[in-house]
Structure 1
Amino acid sequence: MGMDPPMGSRDSQVRIMEKTVANAEKYFGRFCSLMASYTRNVAKLRDKSDLLVRQLTDYANTESPELRNTMKSFAEELAKVQDYRQAEIERLDMKVVEPLKLYSIRLKQMRAELKRFNNTRSNEIKQLEKLARLRQEAPPHQHSSPQAEFSVHRAAADTSRTSKRLQETFDCFRREKLKDVQRIFSDFVAVEMIFHAKALEVYSDAFRSLHSYGSGKDLEGLSRPPG
């Protein structure tokens, strides 16, 4: 087994761990809030687009046959985009927002490990101070209290044990954090790429649908005399 690091070095390492966890809490919390807001805004856009589709369909029913068919076809293409947008919303929730929400659990576990170590470290310092005080107060030929020395050794063993557990937990946390950042934002980009690729196809069809319309037949029908 390797030797435990000196107290000063160990305390410095713990401060670095606490800063790393604090940064993760700060930024992952912001990411979660922003991505949840982003997803809600996509849902609002879907709702407005659904309304546009309904209005286009209603309008088409008031027009002459050729334009009516063209506008209905155009509205159907826009409705397909909203189906893809709904899938985008569901995937963003599942692959981005939820993992960011669950990250708070991992951060709480890391905080608990830090708290456990700090408590055992504080107890070790308390027992050392108590032993030092007893040694000062003891008669010249009595060096210390066996019970106090035992308490110091036990506290030091507790600190060593929790220190090793903390280091192992932190190393795992740091590795997983790097993987999670890569995975979550890769999933975000993938979801957006899939939606935009599908949407581009459908928008192209919608564009062609509009430009296939020829007003000749509708105008011809209007120019005929009644009766």
Structure 2
Amino acid sequence: MLNSFQIRKDCEEEAKFLQDHIQYNEKHLGKLCEVFSQYSKKVARVRDVGDEMAKAVNNYSANESVNKSLALGLQNFSNSLSSLSDYSDLLVQNLDSKIVGILCKYEEICKRSREEIKHVFEAREKEIQRKKQLSKIKDRYPRNRQVIAQAEADVLKATNELSKTVYSIEEKATAFERQKLHDLKLILLDFITLQMGYHAKAIEIFSNCYKQVENINEESDLKDFQNARGEMDLEFKKSLKKPEISLEKKGIFNQSTASFGSVRSIFSDSKKSLKKYLNETNTESSSTSNEESDTDESSHDAENMPAVTNHQDPSISAKK
């Protein structure tokens, strides 16, 4: 790369390539830093929710007094969640230190590399200006060897500075690329190792937890529930029994019953006399109505008698 600069004396394309390469890496490394940071925050959030779950399950287990095996299973499940949350916290710390921390450094590294590449363009611009100045001096003072020699020395000095700058930038660009490749490889391997370790531990914890939860005896807990319910039913039935009445209160109750009985007999006698009176009244009214109806019928028959005699047979009238 340096030889091409020295031969062609044109480092603009090379410097442009380095500049574009730095900007490209800065963009994508910054994006990787952002997404890995978000991933670490999500894992931390899962860790916090795991702690809340463990606390809720533990409270349930502590307050469970009927189902014994269920309470034990809940306690074991809560302990497993707590252990996994501890490993999640360790995972978050390793992600922040081994991955996010390294990627965040590249923001400053890329910024410094861009500034160094600018020196190449400045040195190249300085060399061009020296060459233009030498051309003007040769045109104005073609016979002044001293001025021309000084201008040529300035051009040579600018060219040497450009060469040194390009060489330095080339070395730094190579070091940057080497460090970037090493860090990215290490970051990916660390991420894979951390994930494998975390999930292997999660499998180990949940394998034991699965066996413990599987030991929950549903039939035994159901019997415990029925026994507890039976005891409560017995207490409830006892509370529903009639209270015993003392002899003194019982005598008062009998006296009140007798007094109510006498009052009832009085009302029943009056009711019978009233009923008898109503029956007699109804009998008299019915007999009166029958007599009136008989009288009406007899008067009606008397009125119809002449009409019958007027329509007798003529033979009977002739005999008369």
TM-score normalised by length of structure 1: 0.91
Tell me if 1:153 matches 2:144: no
Tell me if 1:97 matches 2:100: yes
Shift in alpha-carbon separation, 1:184–1:5, aligned structure 2, 3 A: farther
Equivalent residue letter for 1:124:
E
CA distance in 2, matches of 1:107, 1:152: 31
Cα deviation code 1:150-185 (max 9, x no counterpart): 221111111111111111111222222211111111
Tell me if 1:211 matches 2:249: no
The percent of aligned pairs where both chains have the same amino acid is: 25
2:81 is matched with 78
Name structure 1 gaps, 5 residues minimum. Answer: none
Question: Over aligned residue pairs, what C-alpha RMSD do you find?
Answer: 2.0
TM-score normalised by length of structure 2: 0.66
Q: 1:223 aligns with which of 223, 226, 234?
A: 226
Conserved in 2, the CA contact under 8 Å of 1:127 and 1:151?
yes
Shift of 1:142: 4.3
Shift of 1:198: 0.5
Tell me if 1:26 matches 2:30: no
Q: 1:125 aligns with which of 105, 123, 128?
A: 128
Equivalent residue letter for 1:107:
C
CA distance in 2, matches of 1:129, 1:203: 77
2:43 is matched with 42
Shift in alpha-carbon separation, 1:124–1:139, aligned structure 2, 3 A: closer
CA distance in 1, matches of 2:220, 2:167: 83
CA distance in 2, matches of 1:140, 1:162: 32
Structure 1 segments (4+ residues) deviating >4 Å: none
Matches within 5 A, 1:103-182: 103-136=106-139, 138-139=140-141, 141-142=143-144, 145-182=148-185
Conserved in 1, the CA contact under 8 Å of 2:131 and 2:155?
yes
Cα deviation code 1:85-132 (max 9, x no counterpart): 111101111110000011223223322321222221111112112222
* Residues matched between the structures, number: 225
Conserved in 2, the CA contact under 8 Å of 1:78 and 1:206?
no
Mean Cα deviation higher: 60-69 or 190-199: 60-69
Q: 2:91 aligns with which of 85, 88, 92?
A: 88
Name structure 2 gaps, 5 residues minimum. Answer: 235-320
Higher relative contact order (CA 8 A, sep 6+): 1
Shift in alpha-carbon separation, 1:112–1:17, aligned structure 2, 3 A: same
Mean Cα deviation higher: 145-154 or 81-90: 145-154
